Structure 1
Amino acid sequence: MPNMFGTDGVRGLANRDLTARLALDLGDAAVRVLGDSSGTEEEHREGRRRALIGRDTRVSGDFLASALAAGMSAGGFDVIDAGIIPTPGVAYLTSELNVEMGAVISASHNPMPDNGIKFFAKGGFKLPDKKEDEIEAVLGKDWDRPTGAGVGRISHDISTATNMYIDHLVSAIAPIAPDKTQPKPLKGLKLVMDCANGATSVVAPEALRRAGAEVLVINASPDGYNINKKAGSTHPEQLQAMVKASGAAMGVAFDGDADRCLAVDEDGNMVNGDQEMGILARAKKREGKLKHDTLVVTVMSNLGLKLALKDMGIATVQTNVGDRYVLEEMLKGDYSIGGEQSGHVINREFATTGDGTLTALTLCNEVVKSGKSLKQLAADFPQLPQQLINVPKVDKKAAPTNAKVQDAVAREEKLLGTTGRVLLRPSGTEPLVRVMVEAETQQQADEVCQRLAAVVAEELAI
């Protein structure tokens, strides 16, 4: 199965593309690549080598978790099954419990029939491409597996893992005082929360309530089949209506594995990831915690965000699309915050990956501390009108080198000047090119995008 690992692990239709056998083999291969196989049987028996598994609420997660754990334990690892827990919870616990690796069974915002498996290395960081290639290279190959006391055990410790993670989240905005009391910084804030019937259906409501907020919760009754179904960050309509009807100050919506969060202001207007990052970066700068006065963004982030931040004395560093590339740049340049327009925000002060519940907590905290509404805060980061057209059935690899395409891009960029931009991005999984244009007006964005899409379709047609 070539190129098994995509931008976020192995993903596909559960029990068709992603089978129990494949999960077993992935567990078997992962312990060989990510674990230290040395040591005596006595050391193994004492649990020196450990792995952590968590999953979202999809029904297929049951058999996939069992198979993945079987592969790991057969390879000599003691496995802690944390049950249903957000992806960033697994990343945090992988670091906090000092286990050799973590694994998440989730397909994030994808429909329920899909599922996926992604790994975290020791310390809670997503794997680099090289390590994924190594896992794929040994997949399904026989080896000298341990026997006797060398094989691992599987334990289930759901409540402890969940509570450790919730404690960590709340402490980000409400550190426990020396007298063991915990402040309630969100007291008086009323918000609506859409949990997408996903992995944070227990975690997020509890964390926000512990921090003092009054929380109205929707779509937090997972049954194995309703994850992301007309709910969460990909379907915010119900949340928008609920915020307006309830008179709440704001709303937040998560995806299935809760590594991202989008917000809604008091009027029901969406606040996207760019605006969230702007609000949180400015807050960090004010507190002296924005390292190098820089925010890391991707090429998809709106030019409006960059222009607004520039006026605030905050620089931006740009990466390719994908949270792993954002994190790589953050580690390379020692930056404290970065993320994507989709609401995937990485706050390195508290996390090694994007964490939707953490984003919700810190965003709510800034609303309270600033004394401003979310609508007022978001208005400081206006979004330029944007248009995106996917051009199918084209030679996507030729886009950067085709002379007529590049000439057309240059002409349109000159027309837009400093208040707009053009982005041509080949799809990572399909034979198409994404044409994105930002401009001062929606009409201009639409017209430029349509002209460029026509050139791409004609010049790069297969």
Structure 2
Amino acid sequence: MSNGKKYFGTDGIRGEVGQGVITPEFFLKLGWAAGRVFSRAGKGKIVIGKDTRISGYMFESALESGLAAAGCDSLLVGPMPTPGVAYLTRAFHADAGIVISASHNPFYDNGIKFFAADGTKLPDDIEFAIEAELDAVLQTVPSSELGKARRIEDASGRYIEFCKSTSGYLNLDGMHIVLDCAHGATYDVAPKVFRELGATVHVIGAAPDGLNINDQIGSTHPAALQKAVLEQNAQLGIAFDGDGDRLLMVDQEGQAVDGDELLFILAKHLQGKGVIRQGIVGTLMTNLGLEVALRKLDLELIRANVGDRYVMEQLNTRAWPLGGENSGHIVCKHVTTTGDGIVAALQVLCALRDSDQTLAQAKSGMRKYPQVMINVKLPQRVDVLALPAVQSAMAQAEQVLAETGRVLLRPSGTEPVVRVMVEGEDITTVKAVCKTLASAVSAAVANL
């Protein structure tokens, strides 16, 4: 791993089931290693949740066994959105929370995410400590010290009440919405949240069978939601990803509203309430249109590296309440500790209510700039930004765009490519600049 870790990436561990470390043997050892770390101050207590993948049963059992062997108790909450596990970890005063999920990936992938006792992602030192234990020989504690497991029967109800409370128990009487639950972890709780607040709810993507999670549905496939919103004549639609930490919305006309546009709506709303005073956190991929729109509100946009971990780092450093990614991973730190699709959606609905606007009207204050990306394959790992020819090409591209656009070269963390991204006011210029820059990068690498 580029972060110095053997197993943990920027958002836990993830891969294809049966390949690499995504096996029951590894999860057994991982449960034991985590149990060892979290039991150092006494007998540990860990919340375990999962999404709806068929492999979740297998990995839940393996983790539970490993934790028990380390003398750690498990609280099983079953299918639960990732942010729900973060909340329940806090609510039960557990030592940590574990989510078995591969987020927006297809069903044949799976992975694991950890939360610390306060409902935030694990700090690096704890992840390093778990990795160190993974290299040790698994030794079971004496039988008198083995951990136990129990299922929390009211876990969903607890999380539903928490979600409603973050909106001040918003009154949604008279609102007609469509929810797309991606056949994932929100399939049960999300419809209940919005119905209990008074909305008329039409639900799609809420019949998980272990194999259909994210399959042409959910926040990464908005066409199904767009179609349903128009067919139902609904006021808006909300789509979540497989584990419920992302969202995408659709307005009354069937137009998708992405994370950047939702961040604009929330920033304007929270500024009006005095919650935001300085700015918000986005990423290197955040649309330039959001930065321009925020500037008109006298708000700053800080760009973190791509990944919710880096967004959270900036939010914590600056003590700011709002940040997120264009993918729809939005962190509302004034009401919760991590990215939460349901909570973010409720915050957007609060903004619409307070401004007496439709979703289309609320997003109209921001104009997204055209964005073009070309992946350039690399024959070897190389720092393309250090190449003089690439530096010269970037300078020329920035000169062409001037103040009306921006250029970004971002090496992939998972494959040998560099992503050449250009955005600006004029789509024709953006396409031409991106093509020219990508060709320059390709030529520079070929001459190595």
Q: Same fold (TM over 0.5)?
A: yes
Asked if 1:3 is matched to 2:11, the reply is: no
1:96 pairs with one of 80, 83, 91? 91
- Who is 1:409 aligned against? 394
- Who is 1:430 aligned against? 415
Shift of 1:132: 2.0
Alignment of 1:190-269 (within 5 A): 190-269=176-255
Alignment of 1:227-376 (within 5 A): 227-290=213-276, 292-376=277-361
Asked if 1:120 is matched to 2:115, the reply is: yes
Shift of 1:50: 0.5
* CA deviations over 1:357-381 (Å, ceiling 9, x no partner): 1111111222222111101111111
Cα distance in 2 for residues equivalent to 1:280 and 1:394: 43
- Who is 1:15 aligned against? 18
* CA deviations over 1:133-157 (Å, ceiling 9, x no partner): 3222221522654213211101111
Cα distance in 1 for residues equivalent to 2:244 and 2:54: 17
Contact 1:125 1:353 in 2 (8 A): yes
Cα distance in 2 for residues equivalent to 1:450 and 1:131: 43
Contact 2:50 2:79 in 1 (8 A): yes
Cα distance in 2 for residues equivalent to 1:32 and 1:409: 49
Task: Choose 235-244 or 58-67, whichever is displaced more.
Answer: 235-244
Contact 1:293 1:315 in 2 (8 A): yes
2:49 pairs with one of 33, 47, 54? 54
Give the aligned residue type for 1:64. Answer: F
Contact 1:112 1:228 in 2 (8 A): yes
1:31 pairs with one of 31, 35, 41? 35
- Who is 1:162 aligned against? 156
Give the aligned residue type for 1:215. Answer: V
Q: Secondary structure at the match of 2:320?
A: coil
Shift of 1:118: 1.3
Contact 2:45 2:73 in 1 (8 A): yes
Q: Secondary structure at the match of 2:230?
A: helix
Shift of 1:394: 4.2
Contact 1:396 1:426 in 2 (8 A): no
* CA deviations over 1:112-168 (Å, ceiling 9, x no partner): 1000011111111112333323222221522654213211101111x4111111100
Q: Structure 2: give runs of 5+ residues left out of the alignment.
A: none
Cα distance in 2 for residues equivalent to 1:234 and 1:143: 40
Cα distance in 1 for residues equivalent to 2:306 and 2:151: 36
Cα distance in 1 for residues equivalent to 2:439 and 2:126: 40
Give the aligned residue type for 1:73. Answer: A
Cα distance in 2 for residues equivalent to 1:265 and 1:333: 33
Contact 1:110 1:228 in 2 (8 A): yes
Shift of 1:335: 0.5
- Who is 1:67 aligned against? 62
Cα distance in 2 for residues equivalent to 1:107 and 1:437: 29
Shift of 1:174: 2.8
Task: Choose 55-64 or 359-368, whichever is displaced more.
Answer: 359-368
Give the aligned residue type for 2:10. Answer: T
* CA deviations over 1:59-78 (Å, ceiling 9, x no partner): 00001011011111111111
Cα distance in 2 for residues equivalent to 1:381 and 1:72: 48
Q: Secondary structure at the match of 1:107?
A: coil
Cα distance in 1 for residues equivalent to 2:434 and 2:405: 12
Cα distance in 2 for residues equivalent to 1:170 and 1:314: 29
Contact 2:288 2:424 in 1 (8 A): no
Cα distance in 2 for residues equivalent to 1:379 and 1:357: 23
Cα distance in 2 for residues equivalent to 1:100 and 1:397: 41
- Number of matched pairs: 443
- TM-score normalised by length of structure 2: 0.96
Cα distance in 2 for residues equivalent to 1:439 and 1:263: 24
Task: Choose 10-19 or 428-437, whichever is displaced more.
Answer: 10-19
Shift of 1:397: 3.3
- Who is 1:180 aligned against? none
Give the aligned residue type for 1:369. Answer: D
- TM-score normalised by length of structure 1: 0.93
* CA deviations over 1:407-446 (Å, ceiling 9, x no partner): 1101111110111000000001110000110011111111
* CA deviations over 1:13-32 (Å, ceiling 9, x no partner): 11233111111011111122
Contact 2:29 2:138 in 1 (8 A): no
Shift of 1:395: 4.1
Q: Secondary structure at the match of 1:94?
A: helix
Cα distance in 2 for residues equivalent to 1:38 and 1:409: 53
Give the aligned residue type for 2:278. Answer: D
Task: Choose 434-443 or 143-152, whichever is displaced more.
Answer: 143-152
Contact 2:191 2:203 in 1 (8 A): yes
Cα distance in 2 for residues equivalent to 1:221 and 1:366: 30
Contact 1:79 1:152 in 2 (8 A): yes
Contact 1:173 1:185 in 2 (8 A): no
Seen in structure 2, the aligned counterparts of structure 1 residues 299 and 38 have a Cα distance that, compared at 3 Å, is closer
